Structure 1
Amino acid sequence: MGRRKVLEGLERGVLTQPWRGVVVHASDLLKLPTRAAAALLAVGQPVTLSGATSLALHGISAAGDRDVHVTVPYSRRIRSRTGLIVHQGGFRDQDMIEIDGLAMFSIDRALADFLCDGDKRAAFAAVDEAMRGLPPDHCAKLRENVRDCLDDRRDRRGIHRALMLLDLATGKAESPPESVLRLIVVEAGFPAPEPQHEITAIDGRKLFVLDMAWPTRRIALEYDGFAAHEERRDYDLKRDEQMQGRGWVTVRAAAADLRDPSRLLTDLRSAFDRRSGRAA
């Protein structure tokens, strides 16, 4: 473009400079691949996209983060800046892959790091989402690969937490909020619930699928986090009545309960007490 046109573009707002030495079209700045490419250029080699950024580019929606995360070798002293978080760590060629021309950690390595040092809820939802829809053998292989990456980490901080979250993940949650809800319940001292528990008729027909359940206690936990639930309130009430007729207690959670779970946990403890099976 030439220096003059670049300066004109910056002055008019057509171009923007997210970090020193990098210029992008302002209209593309909201696109993660554009910000990721700009970050790689700004930091310079050797560098790889990592953490939440790598996971998001792998298609993991639970790992959303406006900042771009990169990792450089321990030998490089690169400072983070606004919107660009620089981590130091060891990595090998086999830890990286390239997607659309962008160097990033493989999903196994990215999950291992995120489980150690990412937001706990987002990290658990991310590994649960990565397992979703995988055949059992593929799910087991992903778990094994992530565990191997954890074993190879030079930085041992967060390993215990990472292993706990990895063991708790099932890949059966239908959305990241459902994964977060399961983590909240377990951390509150309740036994791990069975996700996507099916209720069947005598002849084997599937009647309902519960978000989470403790079948031996006949307690169900349903997440009503989407607007669609407003339209099916009557259906949910009727279903709860049918479940009650089958001897089940249904506890319902909403998006607000993820922020403040006190009401939810009180209702759940009450349900456990009624079934003479205390949580802890």
Structure 2
Amino acid sequence: MHSTDLLKLPTRAAAALLAVGPPVALAGVTSLALHGISAADERQIHVMVPYSRRIRSRAGLVVHQGGFRDQDVIEIEGLTTFLLDRALADFLCDGDKRAAFPAVDEAMRGLPPDHAAKLRENVRDRLSERRDRRGIHRALMLLDLATGKAESPPESVLRLIVVEAGFPVPEPQYQIATIDGRKLYVFDMAWPSRQIALEYDGFAAHEERREYDLERDERMAARGWITIRAVAADLRESSRLLTELRAAFDRRCGRAA
């Protein structure tokens, strides 16, 4: 086995399952990563064992205790892991919310509306079945806020930040059309009734599109829109962003909610 294989998630997950022994299932962010959710952190392997087992966490391995049935798990790449809806429900309750919300948003991305609605329903059912009721209220809030329309995890985090700050829920991927109905621009998120838009500028995209973005902002300002731009630093410290957003709301309606 090459040393590089040891760094790969499936290799480390297989080793964890072997070390812990059955009954065990990959859980949390590890399960979500196997389902292709890039918002999940893969640095540690998360597993779940029944309450009756006394297995301790150790370096690189996080052990959770909980109940699960055979119908709660599937095999991906030969690895026993939770179904997507079960993994999402657990992570929405137990995971960092700035990772959990992008994860459920990403899971819905690209799904037909009826499939996204079914996934939401399945996750909600999983939450209602949880023996451990801690985190349920937060999980339901995050699940209701998810749309599957964010184009990246940072956009999901930005949406969460503004909602938790007390602003109305923005409309994601809001389209501006020409008089004859052709798509002109798409805002990452917007409050159309107030003509306020919020854009997330990833560093590379922003550097390549700086002049285009400035021109677009000027054109939208001529149409009566206020465009506020957020960068990665605003996700870590949001006071500058929220101050600017409140000022925009004050101009439009005198308050932020």
Q: TM-score, normalised by structure 2?
A: 0.98
Q: Does 1:153 align with 2:130?
A: yes
Q: Does 1:182 align with 2:168?
A: no
CA shift for structure 1 position 26: 2.6
CA shift for structure 1 position 25: 4.7
Aligned residue pair count:
257
Bigger relative contact order, structure 1 or 2 (CA pairs below 8 A, ≥6 apart): 2
What SS does the aligned partner of 1:221 have? Answer: strand
C-alpha RMSD over aligned residues: 0.9
Q: Does 1:142 align with 2:157?
A: no
Give aligned-pair identity as a percent. Answer: 82
Distance 1:234 1:27 in 2: 42
Question: Structure 2 unaligned runs (5+)?
Answer: none
Q: Does 1:129 align with 2:106?
A: yes
Q: Does 1:163 align with 2:167?
A: no
Which of structure 1's runs of 4+ aligned residues deviate more than 3 A?
Answer: none
CA shift for structure 1 position 277: 4.5
Work out whether residues 217 and 277 of structure 1, in 8 Å CA contact, stay in contact via their aligned partners in 2.
Answer: no
Tell me the equivalent position of 1:96: 73
Tell me the equivalent position of 1:76: 53
| Residues 40-76 of structure 1: per-residue CA shift (max 9 Å, x gap) | 0010000000000000010000012301000000010
Q: Does 1:87 align with 2:88?
A: no
Q: Aligned letter for 1:140? A: A
Tell me the equivalent position of 1:268: 245
Q: Does 1:209 align with 2:183?
A: no
Tell me which of 2, 14, 25 is aligned to 1:37: 14
Distance 1:124 1:209 in 2: 22
Tell me the equivalent position of 1:193: 170
| Residues 15-59 of structure 1: per-residue CA shift (max 9 Å, x gap) | xxxxxxxxx753212100000000000100000000000000100
Work out whether residues 101 and 157 of structure 2, in 8 Å CA contact, stay in contact via their aligned partners in 1.
Answer: yes
CA shift for structure 1 position 279: 1.4
CA shift for structure 1 position 229: 1.3
Work out whether residues 9 and 42 of structure 2, in 8 Å CA contact, stay in contact via their aligned partners in 1.
Answer: no
Larger Rg: 1
Q: Aligned letter for 1:197? A: Y
Work out whether residues 60 and 130 of structure 1, in 8 Å CA contact, stay in contact via their aligned partners in 2.
Answer: yes
